[in-house]
Structure 1
Amino acid sequence: MAQKWDWKRKLKMEKIISGFIAIFGLLILANCTTQKTNAPENIQREWMLVEFQDFSKDVMTSNKARLDLSNKEKTNQFSANMGCNNMFGKVSFNVDGTVKFSEIGSTMMFCDRAMDLEQAFGKELPTMTNYKVEGHYLTLSNSSGKVMKFVASDWD
């Protein structure tokens, strides 16, 4: 009789342990979310570069230099083009005004007229750590005081 009782007790303990594991697993899954940016909605648009280092506005305009943050499905990704190659990567905006660009990649074509702007932009973009949106302008800056200024492409 004692063996029968031990067997029932063991089965009951296994059910309790399995229940706890199932509940723990559901709690972990409930806390999983897709990665989204904390950026304000007004950041999620296409921006035209209008101020950067010593490059003239004419050069940036003729190259159609832009930063695209409008991807609604994947709000943590960006693309950019300075007149030749396509750049892409991940971006994370935070409500405290900080930003992080990472995993940056690019196509590798040679375009004589756009290479200086493109190389400078590609070098400086990962160093940008702060952002500010004022009206239809987006300003990226870093701790060294370097600035990239953009205007919303849909602004008239």
Structure 2
Amino acid sequence: MKKILLSFFAILLLGVVGSCSSVPEKNPSLQRQWMLVSFDKFSKEELIKNRAEINLTGALEKGKIKGSANMGCNGMFFTSEFKANGKVKISGVGSTLKACQNMELENAFIQKFDKMTDYSIEGHFLTLSDDNGNSMKFVAADWD
């Protein structure tokens, strides 16, 4: 009888400890590939032609997503932290250093991306914005 009770309490304790885990869960509405459709002075056609995108499907570590981006030439990488209150922190932005013909989009993106402070998800759209009225609008790549 003592062995049965001991086993029962051990299983109960493991269940309680497991449910108190501090590891953040994946957020499927956010953690996906996003195609840039509106940014700065660039037309939607220009963004599509360059396959401008961010990818938020990378590793999730301590609530931060390891992301990547591409604006047509160089591969970019960053760390992002999306809070429940609609705030975002983007840091550690870097890229490969290939010489490309059209660097205007890439340079503009790199200059403004880590300045984004707010985010919203409406349907299949992700919008990032800063305190100066600049914004970037994305559509989920898996949305038809």
Question: TM above 0.5, one fold?
Answer: yes
Q: Distance in 1 between matches of 2:95 and 2:45?
A: 24
4+ long deviations beyond 4 Å: 31-34, 72-75
In structure 2, stretches of 5+ residues that fail to align are 1-19
Compare the two structures and name the one with the higher helix fraction: 1
The reply to whether residue 151 of structure 1 matches residue 126 of structure 2 is no
| % same residue | 45
CA contact (8 A) 1:44 1:72 kept: no
Q: Distance in 1 between matches of 2:130 and 2:91?
A: 15
Residue 107 of structure 1 corresponds to which residue in structure 2? 96
1:102 is paired with a residue whose SS is strand
Matching of residues 51-130 of structure 1 within 5 Å: 51-71=38-58, 76-113=65-102, 115-130=103-118
Match of residue 42 from structure 1: 29
| Matched-pair contact (CA < 8 Å) for 1:48–1:153 | yes
- The answer to whether the 8 Å contact 2:59/2:66 transfers is no
How many pairs align?
Answer: 123
The Cα offsets for residues 38-63 of structure 1, whole Å up to 9 and x where unpaired, read as 78430000000000001011110010
SS of the aligned residue for 2:46 comes to: helix
Flag structure 1 segments of 5+ consecutive residues without an equivalent: 1-30
Matches of residues 130-141 of structure 1 in structure 2 within 5 Å? 130-141=118-129
Deviations 1:94-128 (A, max 9, x none): 00000000011100011113x10000000000100
Task: Decide which structure has the larger Cα Rg and report it.
Answer: 1
Q: Give me the whole-angstrom Cα distance separating, in 2, the residues matched to 1:99 and 1:40.
A: 14
Distance 1:60 1:137 in 2: 15
When the two chains are superposed, the root-mean-square deviation of aligned CA atoms in Å is 2.0
Contact 1:140 1:148 in 2 (8 A): yes
Contact kept? 2:26, 2:60, Cα under 8 Å: no
Partner Cα distance (1:83, 1:135) in 2: 26
* Rounded Cα–Cα distance in structure 1 between residues aligned with 2:115 and 2:26: 18
How far off is 1:32 after superposition? 9.1
| TM-score, structure 2 as length reference | 0.79
